[in-house]
């Protein structure tokens, strides 16, 4: 069975802190699944607004 890998962006300004991963994981949690995040980095536009780019994530059964 292959692991699904997706690309997406959180369209919200980022505040980097020690709870960032926990907050993201709770936002991504869906019933019966756990979301494991990989390769997270900021992406900034020409106006200087930075967003959180989550390049890879895996969804697995709890």
CA distance 33 to 58: 10
User: Could you read off the pLDDT tens digit of each residue along the chain, which spans 62 residues?
Assistant: 444 444 444 455 555 555 766 776 676 665 556 666 666 667 777 887 777 666 565 666 55
**What pLDDT score does 4 carry?**
45
CA distance 17 to 4: 28
**What pLDDT score does 39 carry?**
65
The pTM score is 0.32
**What pLDDT score does 2 carry?**
46
């Amino acid at each position: 069975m292959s692991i699904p890998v997706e690309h997406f962006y959180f369209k919200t300004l980022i505040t980097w802190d020690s709870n960032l991963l926990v907050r993201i994981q709770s936002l991504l949690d869906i019933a019966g699944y756990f979301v494991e995040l990989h390769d997270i980095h900021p992406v900034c536009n020409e106006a200087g607004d930075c967003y959180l780019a989550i390049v890879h994530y895996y969804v697995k059964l709890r």
